[in-house]
Structure 1
Amino acid sequence: MIVCLLALAPEGSRADDVAVGSVRLRGGYDANPQLLPGGRGGAFAGVDAAFAMGRSDGGVDSALSGELQRADYATRGLVPAQRAKITFDIQGDPFAGWTLKSQSSAESIDSATTRSFDAVQNLRLSADGDGVRPFIVGELRYSRLNETNAILTDFLPEDQRFIRATAIPGVKSSFGHGELGVSVNVSATRYETDPDLFGYRRRNERVQPFLFYRAESDLADVSLSVSRLYGTWHDPDFSPVRALLFDLGLTLRSPDKHWQFEATGRRSAADTTFPISPLTISELYSGTLSYSEPDRWRIGATARWLRTAYLDSPFSSSILSYGLTGNYQVNRDWSVGADVLRIHAAVLNGERVDSVLATLSLTRRFVWGEKKLGEKDKKAPAPEAAPLSAPTTAPTPSASAAALY
């Protein structure tokens, strides 16, 4: 759950401008923030923030959104953790029957285990209308990545820097309340320093065909993305990558809208600085059953399992969490929440770690230009992810926080 910054509309803004945001202050007790054997816990305080601003002017739509997460710990020696991201989208109709969309984003992460920065420029040209519609996406990414590792037991002396160019041609077709499509993701990655500190050549090429589907109705939402990743690395010590990846989502609602069940399943690939691995493969499965009185309160039971495996090595880690969540809507703009989770983890060396995470939160919501917002926009001001984006899991401020957010 992301909590958002106040988005103030500038004086004299147009009638078709819109801005939403909220700020959440949270605090509580984290028994083992980094999920380490013998790890120390204690009180923590944090702020989660995000905003979204949009404008429609003369057939050109633009949007600016941002996110911020930060956690500070009372226990001496636990460094603060922070994640920040900003995204700018603009789209128009440069040719009859076609839409061109540009997305520029920058994201930084700074925690006890990860330091990273990503700058991404994405262009998407897609056909309008009904029936089968072609599209093509071009993306250029600059990344810096540094992770703690088992060999140095600390961060690398220097960040690994790389550039990735990607092209994604595809077709899709809409029918009723659904959409079905196919695409293929072709990319090449080049590192600034090759070979790296440990003598490995990490440059690589990847081909990833996708099949995606999504449908919505009053009682159920379904999304599915399945792909096969074929990756070739230039180092003979890295095996060719052949991996089945997927991103599944299911939401079921009772006719009276009181009960809701949400389930997700995801298998995704991510870059790593781990010396002997070309990639990590993560599997995430989660489910939440909740009961709510609309616009008043909600209580739910949740469970989540995350496993990360390092290819070409025997190492993996996992986190299992389960617990209760609750939220009470004081009025239209203010709400309070509480979460209690039990966490069981297995770290890279196989040791078992247990933890407890208890959180209280206070959220303030802001809306300007509300008459222009639909119900879906009010609930989720952040832009929706494209169905053909490679499945990813956003990093969280701490290892134990990954069990909650």
Structure 2
Amino acid sequence: MTQSATWDYIRGSDKDGYAIAIATNNTVYESREVDPATALGLTFRHAFSLSDNLLLRSSLSAVHDQTWSRRSDALIWRERLDYDIGPLRLFTSVDTKVTTLNERNIFALGSFLPYPESFVTLSVLPGVLYRLSFGEIGVSLTASRTMFRFETDYLGLRRNNDRVQPNLFASATFWGIKVEGSLSYARVTFPAGDFDNLQRLLYTAKATIPLELFRLPIEKLTLELSSGRTLEDTTLPFSVINVSTLSDARLVAKFNPSHALTVFARRKDDEYVGLGARAVTTSLGAEYAYTFDGGLTAIVAGSWRYTQETGNIPVSSLNLQLGLSKRIDFSRTTTADASRATPAAPTTTR
């Protein structure tokens, strides 16, 4: 059974204000031999206009994620500078991420390592985008360096690595259909030569399609499709990079402002480069949300999950999720603006 809750505090605007977001998610399994899965997140964001065309955005996030096989803690500090010249925007962001990561390991007899791997990732991302009447298009370049606390890992291998990732991205809206995506070429190099260098094509793709043509007695029916391939860190033996591909399809039916039903299908493929191992998880489920007066949203969801891992017997499971979400908005708006504003729909993350 899964319980989740989110809380957002917003003050001011996206150009002059701050926000605090808290998210919790806890899954308790029927088998008492399996520890609960817990995810906690705290984010503070601040925006400050340096001039009419220059904007500074800051964020500080703390994330805790624990499952049966993985324990992770991260602290992320980001500074981003935006400069607008008409339809053109120049931007640069600098990130510092401190991570501790521990996963179940065959060299620990299937248990966790005696101590987690700790590492710092420094990255810089300059880019430019051009706004069009129907969307935007842009390019960026990410360069990062990951440095581990100890020179070698538990096998005596050096995991420090450098990454370079040029990126092309775009978004557009046509006839009510919203699409966005990106395409990038990632290159990971290991200066010590203990791991093979990696080159991989990465992407993100998302489409939101309103299905109003069916003229059903539903206020809003929407099909949401998304897919993405990213690089993730891992502490498994002989592997530093996990190439993760996630695809998701959701059909959202909004019967009225209070009632919404979502049916979803999801597939996640994790490839542990250098280890020759792969994990594939397929999920099917449905989610019902009811919004009370005052903005509190209750969520009930059920799903079936099937997991296949290299060297292990496939496992299937049923999951029940209960959640509460509430957004409190203290934005500085006039009375006239407030009367026209539509409250933002709260979101939950599983």
TM-score range, shorter chain: 0.7 to 0.9
Cα 1:56/1:375, change in 2 over 3 Å: closer
**SS at the partner of 1:206?**
strand
Give the corresponding residue for 1:211: 168
Alignment of 1:83-102 (within 5 A): 83-102=39-58
CA contact (8 A) 2:296 2:327 kept: no
Give the corresponding residue for 1:26: none
User: Cα distance, 1:60 vs. partner?
Assistant: 3.0
Alignment of 1:382-397 (within 5 A): none
- Residue identity matched to 1:67: A
Give the corresponding residue for 1:303: 265
CA contact (8 A) 2:102 2:117 kept: yes
**SS at the partner of 1:128?**
strand
Paired residues, number = 338
**SS at the partner of 1:158?**
coil
Separation in 2, partners of 1:356, 1:179: 41
**SS at the partner of 1:151?**
helix
Tell me the TM-score normalized by structure 1: 0.76
User: Cα distance, 1:214 vs. partner?
Assistant: 1.6
Give the corresponding residue for 2:154: 197
Give the corresponding residue for 2:326: 365
Alignment of 1:148-187 (within 5 A): 148-152=104-108, 153-187=110-144
Residue 48 of structure 2 is aligned to residue 80 of structure 1: no
Cα 1:336/1:318, change in 2 over 3 Å: same
Cα 1:322/1:56, change in 2 over 3 Å: closer
- Percent identity among equivalent residues? 23
Alignment of 1:288-367 (within 5 A): 288-329=250-291, 333=295, 336-359=298-321, 361=322, 363=324, 365=326, 367=328
Alignment of 1:393-404 (within 5 A): none
CA RMSD of aligned residues (A): 2.6
Give the corresponding residue for 2:19: 63
Gaps of 5+ in 1: 1-43, 383-393, 395-404
- Which of these residues, 233, 236, 258, is aligned with residue 274 of structure 1? 236
**SS at the partner of 1:99?**
strand
- Residue identity matched to 1:225: S
- Residue identity matched to 2:123: T
Cα 1:376/1:145, change in 2 over 3 Å: farther
**SS at the partner of 1:137?**
strand
Alignment of 1:15-34 (within 5 A): none
Deviations 1:139-179 (A, max 9, x none): 11111111112332111111111111111111111112412
Cα 1:300/1:310, change in 2 over 3 Å: same
Give the corresponding residue for 2:345: 379
Q: Which has the higher contact order (CA 8 A, sep 6+)?
A: 1
User: Cα distance, 1:356 vs. partner?
Assistant: 2.4
CA contact (8 A) 1:340 1:357 kept: yes
**SS at the partner of 2:344?**
helix
User: Cα distance, 1:310 vs. partner?
Assistant: 0.3
User: Cα distance, 1:314 vs. partner?
Assistant: 1.5
Give the corresponding residue for 2:226: 264
Gaps of 5+ in 2: none
Separation in 1, partners of 2:342, 2:188: 37
Separation in 1, partners of 2:307, 2:271: 14
Separation in 2, partners of 1:178, 1:375: 23
User: Cα distance, 1:335 vs. partner?
Assistant: 5.1
CA contact (8 A) 1:51 1:381 kept: no
Separation in 1, partners of 2:205, 2:296: 32
- Which of these residues, 237, 240, 248, is aligned with residue 286 of structure 1? 248
Q: After the TM superposition, which of the residue ranges 324-333 and 202-211 deviates more from structure 2?
A: 324-333
Give the corresponding residue for 1:390: none
Cα 1:293/1:132, change in 2 over 3 Å: same
Tell me the TM-score normalized by structure 2: 0.87
Residue 175 of structure 2 is aligned to residue 234 of structure 1: no
